């Protein structure tokens, strides 16, 4: 190898030098300074050691031995990357390390958006390489879409797909980042924020089957099932086949739990509420037995008793 380098050095040295200058320039522009880039390299190196902890290879063993030689804080004794450990490896002061680490953390805090590329997938999640970081974000299928079925949404993505995601959670100790895709859009459940149980809303029938009616509230992208038993008070009228789709009807909110993202609608409940309102409005303490003919039967009964 040494002989080859001696023979080829003149031919390749300027290419290598050009590459190193370009790489360093890009790194400094990305991280803001040479010190920040040096700290980032240490963090990445530590991540590699942690992820390969169970690997039994000669290369890794040699790497860990070198790690021990460079720092008094051995990898075997502490797997958590500390300011002291980074300071020992970079020869930078702890205060300098702390300042740069905070900058790295603040570049993509929780709630920020970042571009990524899908690296792999399983039956319940995608793994997305985040920006220029050597970190894969965990994107659960439940965080792909507000309206689609998680298993169906997963099938839409493959390795190499580019995505913009939102950082939802950063677990520093576990070196994990959870991201979401649906969070980039407005939550359609926000439509119900100013609603409450028993409120009347207008919905449009999307379809019907033996189970009931699929309806969509006007101005909302979510669909809900009004069960057959909740279509009408009268059993004879509780037939989904009465609706063909496209009808605008009113329904009452029977259940509303935004935390659990659960909404139940009922036409039957609306009828019951309207009936109760009518009774309350048109009845009074004078109604019932005080009406002109309400006591007629009682008087006839008294006459019969006197005649006997």
User: Digits of tens for pLDDT over the chain (308 positions)?
Assistant: 556 556 665 566 666 666 666 666 665 566 566 666 666 777 776 666 665 655 566 666 676 666 556 555 444 444 556 667 667 766 777 777 677 666 656 666 778 888 999 999 989 899 998 887 667 889 999 999 988 889 999 999 999 999 999 999 887 656 678 999 999 998 899 999 999 999 999 999 999 999 999 999 999 989 999 999 999 999 889 999 999 999 999 999 999 998 888 999 999 999 999 999 888 887 654 444 444 444 445 555 565 555 55
pLDDT for the residue 172: 65
Distance CA 201, CA 228 (A): 18
Domains observed in the chain: 32-106 (no CATH), 113-184 (2.40.50.140), 188-282 (2.40.50.140)
**Phi, psi (rounded to 5 degrees) for 219:** 85, 5
pLDDT at position 92 is 73
Identify the pLDDT of residue 132: 72
- Coil, helix or strand for 237? helix
| Strand arrangement of the beta sheet that strand 212-217 belongs to | 224-227, 212-217, 200-209, 248-257, 262-266
> Which whole-number Å values give the CA distances from 105 to 86, 110, 128, in the listed order?
15, 9, 18
Hey, what are 213's tokens? 């009616």
Are the CB atoms for 61 and 115 separated by under 8 Å?
no
Which backbone phi and psi does 75 adopt, to 5 degrees? -65, -35
- Phi and psi torsions of 6, nearest 5°: -60, -40
CA separation for the pair 299, 229 (Å, rounded): 45
Give dist(CA 134, CA 247) in Å, integer. Answer: 53
Whole-model pTM over 0.75: no
């Amino acid at each position: 190898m040494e002989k080859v380098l001696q023979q080829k050095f003149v031919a390749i040295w300027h290419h290598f030098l050009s590459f190193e200058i370009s790489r360093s320039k890009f790194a400094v522009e990305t991280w803001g300074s040479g010190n920040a880039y040096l700290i980032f390299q240490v963090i990445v190196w530590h991540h590699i050691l942690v992820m390969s902890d169970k690997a039994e290879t000669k290369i890794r063993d040699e790497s860990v031995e070198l790690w021990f030689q460079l720092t008094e804080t051995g990898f075997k004794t502490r797997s958590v990357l500390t300011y002291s450990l980074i300071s020992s490896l970079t020869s930078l002061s702890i205060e300098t390390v702390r300042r740069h680490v905070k900058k790295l953390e603040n570049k993509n805090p929780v709630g920020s958006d970042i571009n990524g590329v899908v690296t792999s997938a399983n039956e319940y999640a995608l793994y997305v390489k985040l920006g220029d970081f050597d970190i894969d974000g965990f994107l659960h299928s439940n965080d792909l879409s507000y309206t689609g079925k998680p298993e169906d949404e997963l099938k839409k993505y493959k390795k190499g797909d580019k995505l913009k995601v939102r950082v939802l959670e950063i677990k520093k100790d576990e070196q994990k980042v959870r991201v979401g895709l649906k969070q980039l859009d407005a939550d359609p459940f926000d439509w119900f924020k100013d609603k409450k149980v028993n409120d009347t809303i207008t919905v449009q029938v999307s379809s019907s089957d033996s189970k009931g009616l699929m309806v969509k509230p006007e101005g909302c992208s979510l669909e809900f099932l009004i069960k057959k038993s909740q279509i009408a008070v009268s059993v004879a009228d509780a037939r989904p086949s009465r609706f063909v789709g496209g009808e605008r009807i009113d329904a009452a909110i029977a259940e509303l739990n935004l935390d659990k993202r659960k909404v139940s609608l009922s036409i039957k409940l609306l009828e019951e509420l309207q009936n109760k309102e009518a009774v309350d409005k048109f009845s009074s303490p004078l109604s019932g037995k005080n009406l002109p003919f309400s006591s007629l039967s009682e008087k006839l009964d008294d006459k019969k008793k006197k005649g006997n």
